[in-house]
A and B are shown apart, each in its own frame.
Chain A
Amino acid sequence: MRPDNLLYPAPRGLYCEKGDFYIDPVQPVERALITHGHADHARAGHAHVLATRETLDIMRIRYGDGFCGASQIASLGETITVNGVTVRFHPAGHVLGSAQIAVEADGTRIVVSGDYKRRPDRTCRAFEPVRCDVFITEATFGLPVFHHPDDGAEIARLLMSLRQFPERAHMVGAYALGKAQRVIALLRQQGYDDPIHIHGALAKLCEYYQSEGIDLGEIRPATLAGESRQDLAGAIVIGPPSAFADRWARRFAEPLAVFASGWMLIRQRAKQRGVELPLVISDHCDWAELTGTIREIAPAEVWVTHGREEALVRWCELQGIPARPLHLVGYDDEGE
């Protein structure tokens, strides 16, 4: 079977006609396979959802019990047949529960990476390379400029700033699913054991990570009544990036704006957002990891989706690997 008959981009997302299902559809569909719980990939309102147990739990936390008609757990490595098409979920290393989805029919196998990373991360299972004919890779950081530094060194910069500015509350912007918990886990790994304060929007997901056996140490709400401004001087407060530009941030002692994101590599990005201490910590691959993964998997063909598709396609061409952009719409290229 030709790969582009097995899977192709349709208005509602990547579609498998033979199996009659979508992968990470952007609008409600009859049958959806979901790679991970980020809101642009996992939307509410599908009739039937197939995803890992953790991804289903996360969707339930975010959207409530009625997030879909019926759900089915996909265990990692388990072979599931959907209308004659074989599908298998493999860990992607992006956030808790994230998976790549291998789709196979008539001897043709396509692996949809979803979002993925190759760095060790104590909060989720490591990416597992899967042999395939076509590898559909994300390209969020698909430009040669992106080289994510060592995450431990970035966390050390935050701890250094806490020593230099002990009178200021360090307000760390981090997305609620994955990044926030990873930053907390990294801080704990470096021996930081003071309580970490979190914005209300992070509470349920942090609790869920902890219930899954990921140790985040002592977490406190940042909005406890009675806690005065000075109490949080020199403390770490983690919240969604949007919260720090909001009135909410004013209660803290001389807030120092920190943002943990792969985008923070670009100085102008940090400057525009008023970030004083950018931490380059990403849940995606950098350029070297994207190209390294393609080399490792050695697929016959590469399809590139959301992000800077053209540069990765160009790189594949230079390596003699057939590649093309998928031009899927509806994914948040910037949300990291």
Chain B
Amino acid sequence: MKAFAELLDRLVLTPQRNAKIRLLADYFREAGDPSRGYALAAIAGTLSLNTVKPQLIRDLLLERMDDVLFRYSYDYVGDLAETVSLVWEPPQERVAADIPLGEVVERLQMAGRSEVRSLVRDTLDQLDTSGRFAFLKLVTGGLRIGVSARLAKQALAEMGGKDVSEIETLWHGLTPPYLPLFLWLNGEADMPVLKTPAVFHAVMLATPVGEGDLAGLDPADFAAEWKWDGIRVQLANIGGVRRLYSRSGDEISGAFPEILEAADFTGVIDGELLVGGTARSNQATGTFADLQQRLNRKTVNRKMLEDYPAFIRGYDILFSGERDIRSEPFQTRREVLSAVIEAASPQHFDLSPLVPFSTWEELDRLRSNPPDPVIEGVMLKRLDSPYVAGRAKGPWFKWKREPFNIDAVLMYAQRGHGKRSSYYSDFTFGVWTESDGQTVLVPVGKAYFGFTDAELEILDRFVRDNTVERFGPVRAVRAEPDAGFVVEVAFEGLNRSTRHKSGVAMRFPRIARLRADKLPRDADRLETLQAMIEEKALR
């Protein structure tokens, strides 16, 4: 448990992705089985344990501790698991012999309802402070450490010198504590062969169209499709098992039962998950904000299903029936997909239409002025491209609509993390509006990338030299009509928001340019943003 507890403590405080991968990979290398497998499951969210209510933990503690002293302690620390881990005193001095995580998990899994209480007490007595914290977070189901399943898989790839797509392919066919997986990663066994093939297959990704990328390419070799603003998914129905996965391989079946139910064909398709209605049912496609109502839920109620019906707009097909057709050319796969969708439920599936074009200039015009507000650009796919996992340059391109741009005024800044911890690198910016007859700035977004290192130096210097107030880690900077800093902010979309004071929320805002040539009074007004939303709704 010590090694796992130390890993969690380090991960929580480590902001850099690569450093997290190294910490995880080192742990996976050194920890034994089955502990590392359970650790992986705990981090990736695949560990099922009988959870314990916080009240039980509190009761156990108060068997031994004065409640006033406990209250002082809890008020100070603010987190129950952390407080208990710190104040817990084993009954006598015992040499803290470490219990491996694997043993802790297996004891919990085997314990009957009536045994849980004493099991938790005994385990707390046998662990050290960090161990108790990790254990309490595990049993109360509150393990939040800022590591995605994807990152954990990347660490596994690093540990075993494998490609992450191989791990993705296996992932959903394996269960904790993942013994065959670690045997393979250690080079002690062959790649595991799965009994149920209904697993996630790493998706094919496109590269952005860069300057001059299209110059040497023949438009006749490519098909174009709209790039829809939903989430990319993979739907599998193989061997009687139906699953819906996000692009990164997280299973999201629970949130979209209607799609699983409607998937009565055998195979694996790739598409965009959207809400609203399919083109086949003649209804409008919902926005990303509508889709968000359905995301990140474990279950879904009837009203959600009615208000935000979900469907899949098919892009591609990987398996037709049980047959793997990924090596067939795009054109062939598209014909197969078209037939599958034609036969499937019209409320839940439609086919992503092709966009006819003959020159790049023509496509560029279409891309800049798409026929539906839920389109964020076009996709280009070579007609002869096989379906290859990963982001290879050449077969598929994405050509996004130009971003929106506004000029905004820097209002607040906060220090970054890791490499940037000595820089003010997280910025809140605002635009002008009228409030009680006065022209004031209202914050409209936050950005922490888009600038170069040299521009960051300039921004940082401005913040340090123009701080007017501090609120904990946040600094308010000078922002008056004739004194302040103007930045050009680029963003992908704009939605109405009731959570923000300004009433608007930006998607993917970033600082595109520093506008040292402009005064804050020249920055944009809130009405400009509001007009953008209305314009979009009309389009």
List which A272-310 residues lie within 8 A (CB) of chain B: 272, 274-278, 308, 310
Decide if B66 touches A318 in the complex (CB within 8 Å).
yes
Q: Does A73 contact B (CB under 8 A)?
A: no
List which B77-120 residues lie within 8 A (CB) of chain A: 77-79, 82-83, 86-87
Q: Does A237 contact B (CB under 8 A)?
A: no
Q: Does B304 contact A (CB under 8 A)?
A: no
B462-501 interface mask toward A, CB cutoff 8 Å, 1 = contact, 0 = none? 0000000000010000000000000000000000000000
Decide if B13 touches A143 in the complex (CB within 8 Å).
no
Q: With A and B bound together, what is the CA distance between A250 and B15 in angstroms? A: 17
Q: With A and B bound together, what is the CA distance between A270 and B79 in angstroms? A: 14
If A144-B87, A311-B72 touch, whether A271 touches B12 (CB-CB below 8 Å) is yes
Q: With A and B bound together, what is the CA distance between A250 and B421 in angstroms? A: 9
Please tell me which one of the listed residues B23, B65, B78, B87 contacts residue A268 in the complex, with CB atoms under 8 A apart.
B78
Shortest CB distance B72–A (Å): 5
A134-162 interface mask toward B, CB cutoff 8 Å, 1 = contact, 0 = none? 00000000011111010000000100000
Q: Does A265 contact B (CB under 8 A)?
A: yes
Q: Does B73 contact A (CB under 8 A)?
A: yes
Q: Does B14 contact A (CB under 8 A)?
A: yes
Decide if A268 touches B22 in the complex (CB within 8 Å).
no
Q: Does A78 contact B (CB under 8 A)?
A: no
Among the 9-residue stretches B243-251, B254-262, B274-282, B411-419, the one with 4 or more Cβ atoms under 8 Å from chain A is B411-419
B6-47 interface mask toward A, CB cutoff 8 Å, 1 = contact, 0 = none? 100110111100010011001000000000000000000000
When C-beta atoms are compared, the residue in chain B nearest to A145 turns out to be B86
Decide if B72 touches A265 in the complex (CB within 8 Å).
no
Q: Does B358 contact A (CB under 8 A)?
A: no
Decide if B12 touches A267 in the complex (CB within 8 Å).
yes
If A146-B86, A268-B79, A277-B10 touch, whether A314 touches B66 (CB-CB below 8 Å) is yes
When C-beta atoms are compared, the residue in chain A nearest to B74 turns out to be A145
Q: With A and B bound together, what is the CA distance between A272 and B13 in angstroms? A: 10
List which B322-370 residues lie within 8 A (CB) of chain A: none
List which B34-74 residues lie within 8 A (CB) of chain A: 65-66, 68-70, 72-73
Q: Does B129 contact A (CB under 8 A)?
A: yes
Chain B contributes a number of interface residues (CB within 8 A of A) equal to: 35
Residues of B within 8 A of A247 (CB): 422
Q: Does A255 contact B (CB under 8 A)?
A: yes
Interface size class of A (residues with CB under 8 A): 35 or more
When C-beta atoms are compared, the residue in chain A nearest to B13 turns out to be A276
When C-beta atoms are compared, the residue in chain A nearest to B418 turns out to be A276
Dominant secondary structure of chain B at its interface with chain A: helix
Residues of A within 8 A of B473 (CB): 272
If A245-B415, A276-B14, A277-B13 touch, whether A250 touches B422 (CB-CB below 8 Å) is yes
If A147-B86, A271-B13, A272-B473 touch, whether A244 touches B422 (CB-CB below 8 Å) is yes
Residues of B within 8 A of A146 (CB): 86
Shortest CB distance A17–B (Å): 34
If A245-B422, A266-B82, A278-B13 touch, whether A308 touches B22 (CB-CB below 8 Å) is no
Decide if A270 touches B13 in the complex (CB within 8 Å).
yes
Q: Does A65 contact B (CB under 8 A)?
A: no
Shortest CB distance B197–A (Å): 38
Decide if B421 touches A308 in the complex (CB within 8 Å).
no
Decide if A257 touches B73 in the complex (CB within 8 Å).
no
Decide if A310 touches B82 in the complex (CB within 8 Å).
no
Q: With A and B bound together, what is the CA distance between A257 and B418 in angstroms? A: 8
Residues of A within 8 A of B76 (CB): 143, 145, 266, 308
Please tell me which one of the listed residues A147, A165, A265, A274 contacts residue B421 in the complex, with CB atoms under 8 A apart.
A274
List which B180-210 residues lie within 8 A (CB) of chain A: none
When C-beta atoms are compared, the residue in chain A nearest to B78 turns out to be A268
Q: Does A164 contact B (CB under 8 A)?
A: yes
Q: Does A246 contact B (CB under 8 A)?
A: yes
Shortest CB distance B129–A (Å): 6
User: Which among A144, A272, A275 has the greatest number of chain B C-beta atoms within 10 A?
Assistant: A144
Residues of B within 8 A of A318 (CB): 66
Please tell me which one of the listed residues A149, A266, A308 contacts residue B72 in the complex, with CB atoms under 8 A apart.
A308
With A144-B69, A267-B79, A268-B79 known, 5 other A-B pairs at CB within 8 A are A143-B69, A144-B72, A165-B22, A267-B82, A276-B418
Q: List 13 A-B contacts (CB under 8 A).
A: A143-B69, A144-B70, A144-B72, A145-B73, A244-B422, A250-B422, A271-B12, A275-B13, A276-B13, A278-B13, A314-B66, A314-B72, A318-B66
Residues of B whose CB lies within 8 Å of any CB of A are 6, 9-10, 12-15, 19, 22-23, 26, 65-66, 68-70, 72-73, 76-79, 82-83, 86-87, 129, 415, 417-419, 421-423, 473
Which 10 residue pairs of A and B lie closest in terms of their CB atoms, listed nearest first?
Answer: A145-B86, A144-B87, A311-B72, A249-B422, A274-B421, A145-B73, A276-B13, A250-B422, A144-B73, A144-B69
